[in-house]
Structure 1
Amino acid sequence: MLRIVVLGAAAGGGVPQWNCGCAVCRAARTDHPEIRNSQASIAVSGDGIHWFLINASPDLRQQVTRAPQLHPRPGVLRHSPIAGVILTNGEIDAVTGLLSMRESSPFTIYAHAKVLAILKSNSIFDVLKEENVRRVSIDVDIPFMPQLPDGSPSGLEITPFAVSGTSAWYLRGKEHPGGSASTGDTLGLKIVHQASGKYVYVIMACADVDEALKTRLRDAPLVFFDGTVWRDDEMIRAGLGDKTGQSMGHIAMSGESGAIKQLADIGIGRKIFLHINNSNPAWLHASQERQTLEREGWEIPAEGMEIVL
C-alpha cells in the first residue's frame, strides 16, 4: 500500500498568517477554526512504518506532533520514523523545517543539485551534520529509490520532473548558488509503490499547465497540485501585496488558463490542491469559489488527512 498523510496545505505564512487580517485569516481566528492550516507538506510511506516528507515546512515540529504516524516508537529514547526529505524547490516554505531536524537522527535529503547548492551556500544548514544527514542529488526524469536509514530499500520509486516555475523568491536579482541553468528549481514528483504499482503525483508549485504536463497526468489516480491563488491578481485586488501568482511562479486555480480548467477531462481520479495562500477565498466553505472548486471535483484537505492507495 502507498500511504499519504497531509501535514499541511497552506502556502507560506499558513492560515491564519501571523500578521494578516484578511477575510480568510479573520475567519480562521474566530468563527471557522476548521480552516486553520499549516504550511504545505505531505508524508508518504511504502510500509506504514518509515516515512518520507515532501518538503519540510516551517511548521514541521507542530505537524509531527499532530501526526501519530510520525511519532517516535514507544519505549525508544531517541527515534523517528522519518527516513528522508524530498525537496521539490528551494523556497523558504519548503526548506526551513529542515532546521527543526537537527537533533542527530539519521535521515537523507533528496534534492536537485540546484537546491542542494542553496543549502550548501547557507551555513545555517550546517547544523544538519553530515554523519547523520546525507544529501543526495536527484535528476530530472531519472527515477530513484529512496533508502531507509540502514540502507535497505523503501519500496518507493520516485521520478522527479521539471514543471514551469521560478527560482526561490529570495534569490531574485542575485546570483544563484546552483548556476544559471533553468531546470531544477521547481520539480514535480511521481511517487510509485513498487509492490502494488499504485502511484501519486505531487506538484507543489507550477506556473503553467502545458500539453506535456497534461499528458503526464492523464488518468492518474491521485494528483496533489499547486493551488496558491484563486485568481492571478487576487493579492493586489485584496490590498495584500503587489505580487501576482505568475510572478511568484504559481498558476491560478480559476480562469481559462487556470489549473481547474486545464486539468479537466483528462481522467484524473482524485484532485487535491496544496500550497493554498491565505488570500485565496476558496478556503471559505461557503464561498462561491469553494463551491466551484468542489463542483469541478477538486478538494482542499484538512491537516492530518490520510489517503491509502
Structure 2
Amino acid sequence: MTFRAHILGAAAGGGLPQWNCGCENCNLARRGDIPAQTQSSVAFTATGHDWAILNASPDIRDQLARTPALHPTGLRDLPLKSVLLTNGDIDHVAGLLTLREQQPFKLFATAEIHHVLADNPIFAALNPAFVARKTIALDTPVEIAVGLTATLFAVPGKVPLFLEGATVQTDLMGEQTVGVHLRAAGKDAYYIPGCATCPADLAARLDGAAAVFFDGTLWQDDEMVAAGLSQKTGKRMGHMSMSGPDGSMAALAGLDLGRRIYVHINNTNPVLRPNSDQRRTAQDAGWTIGHDGMEIEL
C-alpha cells in the first residue's frame, strides 16, 4: 500500500491571484513571477487508484484536469471514491456543484455540515441516487477510500461567513469546523485547513504524525488590515497566524512530525514569495509552504 497526499489547491478562499485584488502577491502571480494557486483542497490515497478528496474547492474542475491520477479510467469510471468536508465555507463546498454530473461518490461530513448543505436547495443538484451523503460522528474512524480511514475531531473555529449573525464566536468547538486524522499503511497524517487556536490537547494529538497539513492563512494577525484590504484580523476570520508567540509555528514547534506543510494560504501572505524573509523563517522552522500539484508520499 502507498499512502500519498496530493495538494490540489494550496490557497485560501479567492485563490492567488484573487480576481479583485491588486496586492503585491496577486500582481506578481498575474505576471507569472510567482506561481498562481487554486483554492484549498487535498486528495489522499492508500492504493494509488482509490482517492478521497478533502474539501471541494470552487476550482475543482481545473484541479482534477491537472491531476492525471484522478482522470477517468473509463467512460464513467473514476478514481474518486469520496469527498469529505471540514466545514461549510464556500471555498470548501462550492465545488460540489461541479461534481453534479451523475457521478457516484460518497459525501462525508458531520451532521452540522450536512445541515448547511441541506438548507441550501442548490445542492439538491447532487442526485442522491449517485451521491450518498454519509454522516460522520466526531472521533469515530470511517473508511473513506480503500485502505484509508478518516477520523474527524473538533478544532476551534466558527460558522461559515454566510451564516454569521450580529455576534460571532470564532473559537467554537463542535461539528462546524473539524480537523481530519487520516490513517493508512500504519501511518498517520492530519489535515487542518482552518483553526482559530491550537490548544495543548490539539498539539498533543498531532505529535508523532508522518505529516500535518495545517492552516497557513496569514503570516500575522493584522496582515490584511495593514495592507488596507480588510478590517478583519485573522482571529476574526477564525484563523490563527503562522508567526508570533500565539502562532502555529510556536504551537507546534516541539512536536515530533515527519512533515509540516502549510495549506489554505491567503493571497496576502508573504510566504508565497520564494525570496521573502517570512518564507525563510518558516522553512528554518521546518515548514514546507504547500503549493498546487505538490505530492507527498508518507
**CA separation in 2, counterparts of 1:122 and 1:182?**
23
Say which SS state the counterpart of residue 83 (structure 1) adopts. strand
TM-score by length of 1: 0.92
Q: Does structure 2 retain, via aligned residues, the 8 Å contact 1:2–1:199?
A: no
2:183 maps to what in 1?
A: 192
Q: Does structure 1 retain, via aligned residues, the 8 Å contact 2:187–2:209?
A: no
**C-alpha deviations, 1:218-242, integer Å up to 9, x for none?**
1211100000000011100000111
Q: Does structure 1 retain, via aligned residues, the 8 Å contact 2:259–2:287?
A: yes
**CA separation in 2, counterparts of 1:83 and 1:190?**
18
2:212 maps to what in 1?
A: 223
Q: Does structure 1 retain, via aligned residues, the 8 Å contact 2:261–2:287?
A: yes
Of the candidates 231, 236, 247, which is equivalent to residue 258 of structure 1? Answer: 247
22-31 vs 249-258, which moves further: 22-31
Q: Does structure 2 retain, via aligned residues, the 8 Å contact 1:91–1:169?
A: yes
Deviation for aligned residue 1:266: 1.2
TM-score by length of 2: 0.96
Say which SS state the counterpart of residue 98 (structure 2) adopts. helix
**CA separation in 2, counterparts of 1:260 and 1:146?**
30
Question: After the TM superposition, which residues 275-290 of structure 1 pair with which residues of structure 2 at under 5 Å, given as runs?
Answer: 275-290=264-279
Identity %: 45
> Which amino acid in 1 is paired with 2:201?
A
1:151 maps to what in 2?
A: none
**CA separation in 2, counterparts of 1:31 and 1:102?**
33
What stretches of structure 1 of length at least 5 have no aligned partner? Answer: 148-153, 176-180
Question: After the TM superposition, which residues 127-146 of structure 1 pair with which residues of structure 2 at under 5 Å, given as runs?
Answer: 127-146=125-144
Deviation for aligned residue 1:182: 5.0
Is 1:71 the counterpart of 2:60? The answer is no
Of the candidates 101, 104, 107, which is equivalent to residue 106 of structure 1? Answer: 104
What stretches of structure 2 of length at least 5 have no aligned partner? Answer: none
Is 1:3 the counterpart of 2:7? The answer is no
Of the candidates 147, 159, 164, which is equivalent to residue 167 of structure 1? Answer: 159
Q: CA RMSD in A?
A: 1.4
Deviation for aligned residue 1:143: 1.1
1:178 maps to what in 2?
A: none
Say which SS state the counterpart of residue 230 (structure 1) adopts. coil
Aligned length: 293
Deviation for aligned residue 1:39: 0.3
